[in-house]
Amino acid sequence: MNNEFTFTIKNICLDENYQPSDSTRITTNFANLARGESRQQNLRNALKMIDNSFNALAYWDNPKADRYSVELEIVSVDMEIENSGQTFPSIEVLKTHIIDHQTNERIEGIVGNNFSSYVRDYDFSVLLSEHNKGQSQFSIPDTFGDLHGKLFKYFVNSDTYKQHFKKTPVICLSVSDNKTYQRTGNQHPLLGYEYQPNESSLTEQYFKKMGLQVRYFMPPKSVAPLAFYFFGDLLNDYSNLELISTISTMETFQKIYRPEIYNANAVAGNCYQPNLSNQDHSITQIVYDRDERSKLAIKQGKFAEEYFIKPYQAILEQWSASYSL
């Protein structure tokens, strides 16, 4: 059964000239920015924000705060089932590269970052919605996230992944606005103060089925914690510059997408409750369509259902039942 899936990886540079491909999830942060009349200015401003954030964190031997810049690469993973000749857009992530202008080195960063998946859209926007339709109390299907989690683990452990990437991915997301986070006594020099949520979230449970642990840190100069999903040891498996590349990239996107939390004018305290209704925040000079993002998640979930879940349902169920890692 393990030979039934093959992966193909495609890479494209995310710069001010980026144009989303037909298979890219338009709800993805970087794709949303690259649309409309302001697309080029959006991308230029976002990339500049990332560079500024990176240099602010990598301050040693960097007196003018201009030593580094970050190059972003969009990694698209297509999956083929049973040598059918038909591929499905499985996963899309960002990979960072760090340019050291002092040494003229191009340093490999972390893959993962802005993780997106059509199957995840299906699970959250179609399957979960249908499961709770007409129900008086919200519930989660017993097998929710099983298939997606196994497909992700299978890809990360595949020869294709290992040929392209030296380290396992780190996925950085925003915190949940319906949880409370308590600051702990643990402080990392780059990741900052660690926080603990008052309870597990559905996203945590979903990513756990992907084999990922989660820790919450508020980096220096940040105003709210970020969620870091990872394999292994987050604090010791990655270099300082690798971690900074993820922090600077993903916090920039969150400032644009969720300014109420990540561009707030007040810093998170010891006990922190994210608030998407917070009016005391600053707006970036970047156009982002959040309403359209929500509507497209449903559309993309139905796309996954029509072209992946239903046509290959028997194969996927059989594989999922037999696959273990």
Both tokens assigned to 113: 């970052």
- Mean pLDDT, the chain, rounded, equals 91
Q: What is the pLDDT of residue 7?
A: 94
Provide the terminal-to-terminal Cα distance of the chain, rounded to the nearest Å: 13
Distance between CA 130 and CA 213 in Å, rounded?
Answer: 28
Strands (E), the chain: 5-14, 68-81, 87-100, 105-116, 170-174, 181-188, 192-197, 213-218, 226-230, 271-272
Which pLDDT tens digit goes with each residue over 237-263?
999 999 999 999 999 999 988 999 999
Q: What is the pLDDT of residue 293?
A: 56
Both tokens assigned to 193: 């103060």
- For residue 291, is pLDDT > 70? no
Both tokens assigned to 155: 């890809």
Which pLDDT tens digit goes with each residue over 17-68?
888 765 554 445 566 677 677 788 888 999 999 999 999 999 999 999 999 9
Both tokens assigned to 307: 């072209």
Distance between CA 214 and CA 193 in Å, rounded?
Answer: 14
Exposed, middle or buried: residue 210 (CB in 10 Å: 0-12, 13-18, 19+)?
buried
- 110 sits in which H/E element: strand 105-116
Q: What is the pLDDT of residue 22?
A: 59
Segment 69-83 shows an average pLDDT of: 92
Q: What is the pLDDT of residue 1?
A: 43
Strand-pair partners of 301: none
Per DSSP, 176 falls in state P
Q: Give the pTM.
A: 0.93
Distance between CA 210 and CA 147 in Å, rounded?
Answer: 9
Both tokens assigned to 189: 């020099």
Three-state DSSP at 165 gives coil
- Residue 201 Cα to chain centre, angstroms: 16
> Which band of pLDDT confidence, cut at 50, 70 and 90, is reported for residue 159?
very high
Distance between CA 70 and CA 284 in Å, rounded?
Answer: 20
Amino acid in the structure at residue 257: Y
Higher pLDDT, residue 41 or 281: 281
